[in-house]
């Protein structure tokens, strides 16, 4: 490898850093070593193109990621309730008072969490849902490497508040939180928080460097980048520098860059396990492909009004009607779960998936659903020899 080149090993390392919170040396020694070996080219790529700092510690490596705009899917997928996030923060506060390699009992943690938990409602460990929240949080923390389970089974806490487990504080837990130059408790708007994370001010937010960082972060961290209007400066930058961006994407990753009238995205020509991709192997993803085909047929018929960016706006009732039509047309091949489920449940799951992948959005006050251009570009249909009553997956 050329000393300053970006080879396949560097691309694999960059993908792992983008997809994961961090790479812990003890868990993934080979990957960690690849990152160390390509430290120079990786550091230059992340800092120059995305404005991210590469942190390499003797125990782990990571990039300090932050989005241009928060997305629903950027939360912790294992968490189900707001309580989960609060408990997670309380556990981090509890561990600040522990030394490295110090051990603690689940019962002691529960006692401290009850004291730390904010609000009047508090925690009640005799309540099943409260215990379930703590189990989710501790399982996530252990998987991430923030705590180490020494003895016991945290799953038993689901069934009894008297169950016990022994944990240990690993070294990497001290490096989970980022350092910020300002007191975060005085920040009231998420926009201000993101500016601090990016190190930008009102004055330099629209400089060429910061705009490049925003465009590349949107491309590499989000499923699609949409134009915010005909004069969107970030999208104009993307159009003006599309050849350079295409070269960079192909040089630094396994993606291909695609640019259309009002949207841009990175795509893969083949499935790679290191990435979270659409469509995945869930039954609802098959339905999404078929639903997209129906919407595309409507658009091509040109008998429905579209927004300036090509989006189709539907009421929740109209959205559900189209899901029902999709079921009538393709439902014989759906999984048992969705063949038997009411249409409104399928519509709910489908909308959640489409919103996660930025193929749809919903207006909070009116409930109006916008189906965005990316949806109609990802179409799947059963093969021509499909017979009603048979079961098979959707195919491109």
Count helices and strands in the chain by DSSP H and E runs: 15, 12
pLDDT digits (tens, 9 = 90+) for 309-338: 778 899 999 999 999 999 999 999 999 999
pLDDT class of 391 with cuts at 50, 70, 90: very low
Listed by start position, the domains of the chain span 8-63, 82-175, 187-267, 283-376
Q: Give 152's strand partners.
A: 165
pLDDT class of 166 with cuts at 50, 70, 90: very high
Q: Looking at 190-322, which runs of residues are DSSP E strands? A: 225-226, 256-259, 263-267, 312-314
SS3 content of the chain, % helix, strand, coil (to 5): 50, 10, 40
- So what's the pLDDT on residue 392? 47
- So what's the pLDDT on residue 98? 95
Whole-number Å distance between alpha carbons of 116 and 113: 5
- So what's the pLDDT on residue 335? 92
Residue 93 has pLDDT above 50, yes or no: yes
Mean pLDDT score, 133-145: 96
Residue 214 has pLDDT above 80, yes or no: yes
User: Under a CB-based contact definition with an 8 Å cutoff, are residues 106 and 157 in contact?
Assistant: yes
- So what's the pLDDT on residue 205? 67
Residue 387 has pLDDT above 60, yes or no: no
Count Cα neighbours of 48 within 13 Å in the Cβ-side half-sphere: 9
User: Under a CB-based contact definition with an 8 Å cutoff, are residues 11 and 252 in contact?
Assistant: yes
User: Under a CB-based contact definition with an 8 Å cutoff, are residues 379 and 395 in contact?
Assistant: no
- So what's the pLDDT on residue 383? 77
pLDDT digits (tens, 9 = 90+) for 1-49: 445 479 999 999 999 999 999 999 999 999 999 999 999 999 999 999 9
pLDDT digits (tens, 9 = 90+) for 356-381: 999 999 998 999 999 998 998 888 87
Return the HEC string of 11-67: HHHHHHHHHCCCEECCCCHHHHHHHHHCHHHHHHHHHHHHCCCEEECCCEEEECCCC
Whole-number Å distance between alpha carbons of 183 and 188: 11
- So what's the pLDDT on residue 325? 94
- pTM for the complete prediction? 0.85
Q: State the residue for tokens 């969107």.
A: 232
Mean pLDDT score, 108-122: 92
The values of phi and psi at residue 197, to 5°, are -60, -40
Count Cα neighbours of 314 within 13 Å in the Cβ-side half-sphere: 18
Residue 182 has pLDDT above 80, yes or no: no
pLDDT digits (tens, 9 = 90+) for 228-275: 888 889 999 999 999 999 999 999 999 999 998 889 999 988 766 667
Distance in Å from the first CA to the final CA of the chain: 38
Specify whether the backbone of 367 is left (phi greater than 0), alpha (psi in -120 to 50) or beta: left
Q: Give 277's strand partners.
A: none
User: Under a CB-based contact definition with an 8 Å cutoff, are residues 253 and 318 in contact?
Assistant: no
- So what's the pLDDT on residue 310? 73
Residue 303 has pLDDT above 70, yes or no: no
Mean pLDDT score, 89-102: 95
CA distances from 78 to 67, 90, 230 (A): 20, 17, 38
Mean pLDDT score, 154-180: 92
User: Under a CB-based contact definition with an 8 Å cutoff, are residues 225 and 238 in contact?
Assistant: yes
| pLDDT greater at residue 249 or residue 72 | 249
Mean of pLDDT over the chain: 88
Whole-number Å distance between alpha carbons of 331 and 324: 9
Whole-number Å distance between alpha carbons of 281 and 163: 37
Residue 216 has pLDDT above 50, yes or no: yes
Return the sign of the alpha-carbon dihedral for residues 310, 316, 322, 326.
positive
Residue 204 has pLDDT above 80, yes or no: no
Pairing of strands 225-226, 263-267: antiparallel
Domain 283-376 sits in CATH 1.10.10: yes
∠125-130-136 over CA atoms, to 5°?
Answer: 120
Report DSSP state, residue 149.
E
């Amino acid at each position: 490898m050329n000393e300053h080149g970006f080879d396949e090993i560097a691309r694999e390392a960059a993908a792992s850093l983008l997809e994961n919170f961090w790479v812990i040396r003890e868990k993934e020694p080979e990957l960690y070593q690849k990152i160390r070996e390509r430290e120079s080219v990786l550091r230059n790529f992340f800092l120059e193109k995305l404005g991210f700092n590469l942190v390499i510690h003797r125990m782990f490596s990571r990039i300090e990621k932050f989005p241009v705009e928060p997305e629903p899917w950027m939360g912790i997928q294992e968490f189900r309730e707001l309580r989960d996030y609060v408990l997670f923060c309380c556990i981090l506060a509890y561990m600040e008072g522990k030394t490295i390699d110090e051990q603690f009992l689940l019962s002691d943690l529960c006692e401290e969490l009850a004291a730390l938990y904010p609000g009047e409602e508090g925690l009640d460990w005799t309540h099943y849902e409260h215990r379930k929240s703590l189990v989710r949080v501790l399982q996530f923390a252990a998987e991430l490497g923030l705590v180490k389970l020494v003895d016991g089974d945290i799953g038993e806490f689901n069934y009894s508040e008297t169950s016990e487990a022994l944990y240990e504080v690993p070294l990497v837990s001290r490096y989970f939180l980022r350092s910020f130059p300002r007191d975060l408790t005085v920040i009231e708007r998420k926009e201000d928080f993101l500016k601090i994370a990016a190190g930008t001010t009102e004055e330099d937010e629209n400089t060429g460097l910061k705009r490049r960082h925003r465009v590349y972060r949107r491309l590499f961290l989000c499923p699609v980048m949409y134009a915010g209007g005909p004069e969107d400066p970030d999208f104009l930058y993307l159009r003006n520098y599309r050849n350079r961006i295409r070269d960079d994407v192909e040089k630094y990753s396994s993606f291909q860059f695609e640019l259309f009238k009002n949207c841009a995205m990175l795509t893969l020509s083949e499935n790679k396990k290191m990435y979270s991709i659409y469509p995945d192997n869930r039954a609802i993803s098959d339905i999404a492909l078929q639903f997209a085909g129906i919407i595309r047929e409507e658009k091509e018929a040109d008998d429905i009004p579209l927004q300036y960016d090509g989006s189709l706006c539907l009421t929740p009732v109209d959205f559900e009607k189209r899901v029902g039509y999709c079921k009538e047309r393709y439902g014989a091949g759906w999984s048992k779960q969705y063949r038997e489920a009411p249409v409104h449940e399928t519509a709910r799951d489908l909308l959640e998936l489409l919103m996660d992948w930025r193929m749809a959005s919903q207006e909070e006050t009116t409930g109006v659903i916008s189906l965005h251009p990316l949806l109609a570009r990802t179409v799947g249909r059963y093969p021509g020899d499909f017979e009603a009553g048979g079961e098979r997956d959707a195919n491109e």
